Amino acid sequence: MRGDFKYVVVDGKYVKLRGGRRGVLLIALGLTDHGVRAVLDVVLTREEDVVSYWDLLVRLWRRYNLTLVVADGVKALDTAISRSWIQVARQTCLVHLKRRVDRRVRVLLDLLLSLAESVPTRGSPLLSYLLAPRELWPLLRSNNLAESFNSLLESSGSATPPGGPDRPGHSPQLQPLDLLSHHCNNITGFLISS
């Protein structure tokens, strides 16, 4: 798929494979400045490690002009970006961050993010989403879009979204993923056991 995808949301999901094996499904969802979303790449690997993420990033970098990678803070991805020649901002998933702190800290974090959004500047991996157009901020604060897709694949036991092959998925965010689930990733659907 070609396009001006500058922002990529990445997630890894451990899945059961046929034959009792386990693997990791790495999903990369892209966004353009205009909010167009698409599955850019899906990789089935043995583990969520630096080499797997590095391979995924290089493949994406060759096809797209990436400026921001959103992920849940997995160390392997951060290490892969740091060790590569790829110059891209990182955004830590704020939803994951909030889950790891207590309620008082969460309130302060919300206040800090609110203040940062009122005066957008380039900052830490907590504020990198501010580099994108304001209307994309809700999509780039977390990697929930990619997590939803990974969960959809695992729970269905195939690459077919809820609603069946002739109807889009329940969520408008997942509807662009129909193309992948029906035509581009039959192998992954076959490998994931029910």
Please say if the pLDDT value at position 172 is more than 70: no
Please say if the pLDDT value at position 17 is more than 80: yes
Where do the domains of the chain lie, and which CATH numbers do they carry?
7-186 (3.30.420)
Residues 34-62 pLDDT 10s? 888 889 999 899 989 999 999 998 899 88
More confident residue, 76 or 185: 76
State if pTM tops 0.85.
Answer: no
HSE-up of residue 134 (Cα within 13 Å, Cβ side): 6
More confident residue, 89 or 184: 89
Output the CA torsion 126→94→130→27 (10° steps).
110
Residue written as token pair 């997942």: 174
Predicted pLDDT of residue 130: 67
Please state whether beta strands 22-31 and 7-16 pair in parallel, antiparallel, or not at all (unpaired): antiparallel
Predicted pLDDT of residue 193: 39
